[in-house]
Amino acid sequence: MSFDFDRRIDRRQTHSYKWDQSEKLFGDKDLLPLWVADMDFQAPSAVREAIEKRAALGVYGYSFREDSYTEAIVQWFRQRHDWTIDPKWITDLPSVVTSLSLAVEQFSEPGGEVVLQSPVYYPFYHVIRNNDRKVADNPLVFRNGRLEMDYEQLESLFKGGAKLLLLCSPHNPGGRVWSREELLRLGELCLAYGVTVVSDEIHADLVLPGHKHVPFASLSPEIADITVTCLAATKTFNLPGLHTSFTVVSNPELKRKLDNRINTLSLHMAQHFAQDAVEAAYREGGEWLDALLAYVSANIDYAIDYLAEHLPEAKPLRPEGTYLLWVDCRGLGLDVEGLKDLMYRKAKVVFNEGSTFGSAGAGWLRINLACPRSIVEEALESFCRAARER
């Protein structure tokens, strides 16, 4: 089966957060957006057909979760990630960020410290601070041409009393797919200091050739017992607008606390379209995903080569996972406002400005490459030309 990832789909005037917010957010409606992490590709045909079938009912009443839905999740993670999940461990939630926020609320104390590893997906900061907790930063270090964990500094935070860690695996924006050895060392530290881990693994399926995602909770029963895993089909199959995700929690006490809060907030009801869409994705979307990963990998190769030739001052980290390219633009000699001016006013493109991922990201840009090659070409040509002409 062939898939047309080169097709440019006009998403303007469709209430698209990515395409229809440029004037409001960046001051110009005619910018080319390669920022917020959704794709410019259609979802697999099986997903579209499932949604169309639900829409054709014409009655959009309350829904409940069928066993076939959880069975599809279990089967997918067993086949793709060598991880055996008990269906009883699964709880649905509207989004991974919702899960992160509820976990911070339930598994840490007001005023307490919650560890994150910067630069990292910016809602990590929000769910900590908005829950009246303090950010305890364990900055990743740039070593061997990639981001790595600083275990010594992390242990000092645990010694200081931090009891909750938000893990981003695979890492956004840095593109790291943590190895089993790295995760085991992290798990040993967390077990030694009684730290609970909330692992955001929404990019688990988006791992590039030569790398393998290891679910943190799959490392051992002891590590699973301290872990809340946050997952979704939405990033994998481009379904974020359906607002559906799930947690996997094997520890009965952790799951009870989380489920009670979910029921209190009435977040437990199934979304009318999401269940069938997710089941179709997990049962029939594997071939589409494999083709997508090959296409994105080629986009990454193109972008890295293009920057090396046309703007060598910008130095991308080659990602091991995700469809996001983390680019060190400090060689351009621009501050945060200078980079924004270069993007929005001179190049007419939107990449993510790096300081939103924490102070360690200042001078960096995140580029979303899950789009047709022609868009990548247009954006990079415009950005490099503007950078050279300034």
In a domain, 54, yes or no: no
> 3-state class of 114 per DSSP?
strand
User: Are the beta carbons of 350 and 32 closer than 8 angstroms?
Assistant: yes
Q: Residue 355: its pLDDT value, please?
A: 98
In a domain, 53, yes or no: no
Provide the number of structural domains found in the chain: 2
Q: Is 2 exposed, middle or buried (0-12, 13-18, 19+ CB in 10 A)?
A: exposed
In a domain, 14, yes or no: no
In a domain, 52, yes or no: no
Q: Residue 10: its pLDDT value, please?
A: 97
Boundary residue ending a domain (256, 283, 310): 283
The reply to whether 130 and 252 lie within a common domain is yes
User: What is the four-CA torsion angle of 210, 238, 2, 374, rounded to 10 degrees?
Assistant: -90
**Positive or negative CA dihedral for 183, 316, 7, 375?**
positive
The reply to whether 270 and 301 lie within a common domain is no
**Tokens (6 digits) for 274:** 């999401």
Q: Residue 361: its pLDDT value, please?
A: 97
The reply to whether 147 and 252 lie within a common domain is yes
Q: Residue 144: its pLDDT value, please?
A: 87
Boundary residue ending a domain (264, 283, 302): 283
In a domain, 105, yes or no: yes
The reply to whether 279 and 376 lie within a common domain is no
Please give the model's pTM, rounded to 2 decimal places: 0.97
The reply to whether 383 and 350 lie within a common domain is yes
> 3-state class of 287 per DSSP?
helix
The reply to whether 305 and 294 lie within a common domain is yes
Q: Residue 2: its pLDDT value, please?
A: 85
The reply to whether 266 and 151 lie within a common domain is yes
In a domain, 130, yes or no: yes
Instruction: Please choose, from the candidates 370, 383, 376, the residue with its C-alpha nearest in 3D space to the C-alpha of residue 339.
Output: 383
From residue 346, alpha-carbon distances to 31, 333, 338, 388 in Å are 10, 16, 10, 11
Cα gap 145→366, rounded to integer Å: 17
Under the phi-then-psi rule, with left for phi > 0, alpha for psi from -120 to 50, and beta for the rest, what region is 205? alpha
User: Are the beta carbons of 50 and 72 closer than 8 angstroms?
Assistant: no
The reply to whether 129 and 251 lie within a common domain is yes
**CATH (domain of 30):** 3.90.1150.10
Neighbours of 267 (CB within 10 A): 16
Instruction: Please choose, from the candidates 254, 266, 228, 323, the residue with its C-alpha nearest in 3D space to the C-alpha of residue 94.
Output: 266
Boundary residue ending a domain (283, 305, 328): 283
The reply to whether 270 and 324 lie within a common domain is no
Backbone phi, psi, residue 266, to 5°: 55, 50
In a domain, 11, yes or no: no
What number of H helices and E strands is found in the chain? 14, 15
The reply to whether 189 and 255 lie within a common domain is yes
**CATH (domain of 107):** 3.40.640.10
Question: Which amino acid, residue 281?
Answer: A
Q: Is 313 exposed, middle or buried (0-12, 13-18, 19+ CB in 10 A)?
A: middle
**Positive or negative CA dihedral for 129, 133, 134, 137?**
negative
The reply to whether 37 and 179 lie within a common domain is no
The domain containing residue 314 runs over which residues? Answer: 22-44+286-389
The reply to whether 193 and 304 lie within a common domain is no
In a domain, 3, yes or no: no
Per-residue pLDDT of the chain (390 residues; tens, 9 = 90+): 789 999 999 999 999 999 999 999 999 999 999 999 999 999 999 999 999 999 999 999 999 989 999 999 999 999 999 999 999 999 999 999 999 999 999 999 999 999 999 999 999 999 999 999 999 999 999 998 899 999 999 999 999 999 999 999 999 999 999 999 999 999 999 999 999 999 999 999 999 999 999 999 999 999 999 999 999 999 999 999 999 999 999 999 999 999 999 999 999 888 999 999 999 999 999 999 999 999 999 999 999 999 999 999 999 999 999 999 999 999 999 999 999 999 999 999 999 999 999 999 999 999 999 999 999 999 999 999 999 998
